Structure 1
Amino acid sequence: MSDIEHDAPAADPIGDVDPEIITPVADGLADARAAILERIADHVVFDGWSPAAIAAAAAEAGVSAETARLAFPRGVDAAMGFHLRGDRKLAEALAQEPLGGMGMTDRITRAVRLRLEIAEPDRETVRRAASLFALPVNAGNGAKMVWNTADTIWTALGDGSEDLNWYTKRATLSGVISSVTLYWLGDESEGRADTWAHLDRRIADVMRIEKAKAAVRRNPLGKIAMGGFDRLTRGVRAPRRAGA
Structure 2
Amino acid sequence: MSLAADMTLDEMRLALAPEIALAAMFDGWSDAALEAAAHIAGIDADVARLAFPGGAMDQIDAWVASVDTAMMAEFADGRLATMPIRERIRSLVWFRLEAIAGLEESLSRAMAIQTMPQNVAAAFRQGWSSADRMWRLAGDTATDYNHYTKRAILAGIYGATLAVWKDDTSEDKAQTRAFLDRRIEGVMKFEKAKARFLGGPGGSGREHFDVARFLGRLRYPQR
CA apart distance, 1:225: 5.2
CA apart distance, 1:208: 2.1
Q: Within 5 Å, give how 1:201-220 maps onto structure 2.
A: 201-216=182-197
User: Does the Cα contact within 8 Å between 1:54 and 1:75 map onto a contact in 2?
Assistant: no
Q: Within 5 Å, give how 1:171-186 maps onto structure 2.
A: 171-186=152-167
Q: Percent identity?
A: 38
CA apart distance, 1:227: 5.3
**Structure that is richer in helix per residue:** 2
CA apart distance, 1:30: 3.1
Q: Within 5 Å, give how 1:1-244 maps onto structure 2.
A: 28-73=8-53, 74-96=55-77, 98-216=79-197, 223-224=200-201, 226=203
CA apart distance, 1:199: 0.5
User: Does the Cα contact within 8 Å between 1:58 and 1:65 map onto a contact in 2?
Assistant: yes
Q: 1:223 to 1:32 in 2, by over 3 A?
A: closer
Q: 1:131 to 1:86 in 2, by over 3 A?
A: same
Runs of 4+ in structure 1 displaced over 6 angstroms?
A: none
Taking only aligned residues, the RMSD between alpha carbons, in angstroms, comes to 2.2
- 2: distance between equivalents of 1:228 and 1:127? 39
- Report how many aligned residue pairs link the two structures: 200
TM-score of the superposed pair, with normalisation by structure 2: 0.81
Q: 1:44 to 1:133 in 2, by over 3 A?
A: same
- 2: distance between equivalents of 1:229 and 1:125? 40
Counterpart in the other structure of 1:238: none
| Structure 1: unaligned runs, 5 residues or longer | 1-26, 231-244
Counterpart in the other structure of 1:18: none
User: Does the Cα contact within 8 Å between 1:83 and 1:145 map onto a contact in 2?
Assistant: yes
User: Does the Cα contact within 8 Å between 1:32 and 1:63 map onto a contact in 2?
Assistant: no
SS for the counterpart of 2:103 is helix
SS for the counterpart of 1:72 is coil
TM-score of the superposed pair, with normalisation by structure 1: 0.75
SS for the counterpart of 1:100 is helix
CA apart distance, 1:135: 1.2
SS for the counterpart of 1:160 is coil
